[in-house]
């Protein structure tokens, strides 16, 4: 691996001739999936979001508990009818100076910059994948330099959460329109773009004019960020173990048993030099039933209930996932979501009940049931085989069909699969994001209701929640909807996922959060002299 400290020496020397390179605090991590663009309008995948979140800011942001807090907007008001949002902007936010070697301030951000950025987001010629964020927006405009207003078509309590997404970052018109913005971005974030050698490395350096402070100290605390693009997961893991990377996210089967115990803790041999951080993750892994399939046994509610009761989720997680995750026995909305209720009673393991339900259906079918085909991709084959084996013990025959990930996703989205594995990762921190999968107006292929579930009672509660101003009341409505999902069993919730992060011992203050964002502005790195 190339010596990135030397690389940073070249860049930082231009700013300070007397700077001691050995004391530069550079946060190093690897991005296996690569990054296609540094334009926030195209921050569709997690890799891009992690990178662009270091470079750009929006009106609002999320804290570590997923609570909306000010960012470039220092305050806002919402009209009584919940249709108009008025944002008052800070007056001390500047775009990065286009001159990479300069530490002087660039142009001050104003409300017209947000008007341009949002117009660009919905521009057909730009074709941003994030334009859906503005689908419920009627109008937006800058009133003056300091006030930006947004009008909605209909009330939507989760709207501020949408504005926290990287899609809604502010960008400078004069820089964007010069071209190549995705390769040479200018933002307002805690770090500035420095160098990008595609497929090799990406380097950011500290924004010395960043507007946020903590305890009287200006953020960020790091001198820079260095991202490599090793495609091999084992190679990246080795670089982390050798201390050449500061951070490793997630776990792969190739090194899972090397770094984790069976109980999900850190392997003892690494405890003196590595820290493990775990956090509830806004992701629910599940199996879905296409309810319009009239030929498969899944048309029977009792069969869907039997599958839900017929396997031990705790056992599954222990032996196949090193206890990474929490058994999904409280409905579809995962842990980490502010409205999550662990008093909600879902499906737990009950072998006898499952057997009884299956036998009741068999009596209606001359004692026989056709095999049920479960579709998945290879990454989740072990989970599906576990469920297949457990259900066979109680009289239910499951056949597994494996497809490439892209093919599988497409077939799920177009309702071509009767029984399928899927997951749902929240786009924004509100349970509406999960419950929208069961709203009757969202039937696939035009929406995310892949099961084609339909319930007038559910729809009524869903519509009511959209106009509910009180969070506690709205959360109660969410729980009622989740209970309806449990009762009708259009899905089999498997587990609520966890975020696993590994850091070197000299890294501190890395924020853990349920949406798995990489927040580096408060991170501290301590340089040790060997």
Model confidence at 102, pLDDT cuts 50, 70, 90, reads low
Query: What confidence tier does 2 reach under pLDDT thresholds 50, 70, 90?
Result: very low
At residue 346 the predicted structure's pLDDT band, cuts being 50, 70 and 90, is very high
Mean residue pLDDT of the chain comes to 91
The β-bridge partners of 247 are 29, 503
Span 171-205, pLDDT tens digits: 999 999 988 787 789 999 999 999 998 889 999 99
**CATH class of the domain whose range is 281-498:** alpha beta
Instruction: Give 428-478 as a DSSP string.
Output: SSSTHHHHGGG-GGGBTTSSSBTT----HHHHHHHHHHHT---HHHHHHHH
What local confidence, expressed as pLDDT, does residue 367 receive? Answer: 83
Lookup: tokens for 334: 């995962």
> Tens digits of per-residue pLDDT, 123-151?
999 999 999 999 999 999 999 999 999 99
Does the pLDDT at position 13 exceed 90? no
DSSP track, 275-323: EEEEEEEEEEEEEEE-TT-SSSGGGSHHHHHHHHHSS-HHHHHHHHSTT
Q: Are strands 84-89 and 147-152 parallel, antiparallel or unpaired?
A: antiparallel
User: What local confidence, expressed as pLDDT, does residue 474 receive?
Assistant: 95
Cβ–Cβ contacts within 10 Å for residue 153, how many? 11
DSSP 217-234: EESP-SSEEEEE----HH
Q: Phi and psi at residue 389, in whole multiples of 5°?
A: -65, -45
- Report the pLDDT averaged over residues 300-320: 96
With 0-12 / 13-18 / 19 or more C-beta atoms within 10 angstroms meaning exposed / middle / buried, residue 8 is buried
pLDDT in tens, 386-437: 999 999 999 999 999 999 999 999 999 998 999 999 999 998 889 999 999 9
SS3 category, 123: coil
Q: 4-245+506-525 adopts what CATH topology?
A: D-Maltodextrin-Binding Protein; domain 2 (3.40.190)
Q: Is 196 helix (H, G, I), strand (E, B) or coil?
A: strand
Question: Rounded to an integer, what distance in angstroms lies between the CA atom of residue 296 and that of residue 293?
Answer: 6
Could you tell me if 56 and 169 are in contact, meaning their C-beta atoms sit under 8 angstroms apart? yes
pLDDT bucket at 529, cuts 50 / 70 / 90: low
Residues 6+ positions from 14 with CB-CB distance below 8 Å = 101
Largest CA distance in the chain: 87
Q: What are phi and psi of 287, to 5 degrees?
A: -110, 140
Kindly state the helix (H) or strand (E) to which residue 422 belongs, with its residue range: strand 419-425
Residue 257: pLDDT band with limits 50, 70, 90 = confident
Residue 245, burial from CB neighbour count under 10 angstroms (0-12, 13-18, 19+):
buried
pLDDT at residue 523 tops 60? yes
Res. 11 pLDDT band, cuts 50 70 90? very low
Joined together, the tokens standing for residue 418 give 């009767």
State the angle between helix axes of 351-363 and 301-309 in degrees (0 to 180), rounded to the nearest 10. 160
The domain locations on the chain are 4-245+506-525, 281-498
The pTM (predicted TM-score) of the whole model is: 0.87
pLDDT, average across residues 291-318? 95
């Amino acid at each position: 691996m190339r010596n990135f400290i030397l690389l940073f020496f070249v860049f930082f020397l231009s700013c300070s001739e007397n700077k001691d390179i050995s004391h530069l605090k550079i946060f190093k991590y690897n991005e296996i999936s690569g990054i296609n663009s540094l334009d926030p309008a195209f921050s569709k995948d997690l890799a891009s979001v992690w990178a662009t979140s270091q470079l750009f800011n929006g009106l609002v942001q999320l804290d570590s508990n997923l609570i909306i807090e000010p960012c470039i907007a220092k305050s806002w008001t919402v009209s009584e009818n919940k249709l108009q949002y008025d944002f008052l902007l800070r007056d001390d936010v500047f775009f990065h100076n286009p001159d990479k070697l300069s530490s002087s301030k660039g142009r001050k951000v104003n409300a017209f910059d947000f008007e341009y950025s949002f117009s660009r987001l919905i521009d057909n010629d730009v074709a941003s994948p994030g334009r859906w964020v503005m689908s419920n927006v009627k109008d937006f405009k800058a009133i003056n330099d300091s006030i930006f207003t947004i009008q909605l078509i209909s009330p939507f309590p989760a709207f501020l959460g949408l504005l926290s997404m990287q899609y809604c970052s502010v960008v400078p018109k004069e820089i964007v329109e010069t071209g190549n913005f995705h390769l040479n971005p200018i933002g307002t974030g805690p770090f500035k773009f420095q160098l990008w050698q595609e497929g090799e490395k990406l380097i950011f350096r500290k924004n010395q004019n960043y507007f946020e402070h903590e305890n009287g100290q200006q953020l960020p605390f790091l001198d820079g960020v260095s991202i490599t693009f090793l495609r091999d997961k084992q190679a990246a893991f080795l670089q982390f173990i050798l201390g050449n990377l500061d951070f490793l996210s997630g776990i792969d089967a190739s090194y899972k048993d090397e770094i984790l115990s069976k109980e999900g803790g850190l392997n003892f041999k690494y405890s003196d030099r590595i820290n493990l951080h775990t956090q509830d993750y806004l992701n629910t892994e599940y199996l879905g039933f296409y309810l319009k399939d009239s030929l498969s046994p899944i048309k029977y509610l009792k069969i869907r209930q039997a599958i839900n009761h017929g396997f031990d989720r705790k056992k599954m997680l222990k032996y196949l996932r090193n206890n990474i995750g929490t058994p999904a026995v409280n409905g579809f909305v995962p842990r980490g979501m502010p409205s999550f209720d662990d008093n909600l009673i879902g499906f737990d393991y009950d072998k006898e009940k499952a057997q009884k339900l299956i036998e009741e259906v068999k009596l209606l079918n001359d004692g026989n049931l056709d095999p049920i085909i479960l579709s998945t991709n290879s990454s989740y084959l072990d989970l599906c085989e576990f469920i297949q084996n457990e259900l066979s013990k109680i009289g239910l025959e499951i056949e597994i069909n494996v497809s490439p990930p892209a093919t599988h996703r497409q077939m799920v989205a177009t309702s071509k699969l009767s029984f399928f594995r899927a997951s749902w990762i929240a786009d924004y921190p509100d349970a509406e994001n999960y419950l929208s999968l069961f709203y009757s107006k969202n039937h696939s292929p035009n929406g995310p209701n892949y099961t084609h579930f339909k319930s007038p009672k559910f729809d009524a509660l869903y519509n009511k929640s959209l106009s509910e101003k009180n969070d506690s009341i709205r959360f109660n409505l969410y729980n009622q909807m989740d209970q309806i999902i449990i009762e009708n069993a259009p899905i089999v919730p498997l587990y609520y996922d966890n975020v696993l992060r590994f850091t070197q011992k000299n890294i501190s203050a890395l924020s853990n959060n349920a949406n798995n964002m990489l927040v580096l502005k408060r991170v501290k790195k301590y340089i040790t002299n060997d």
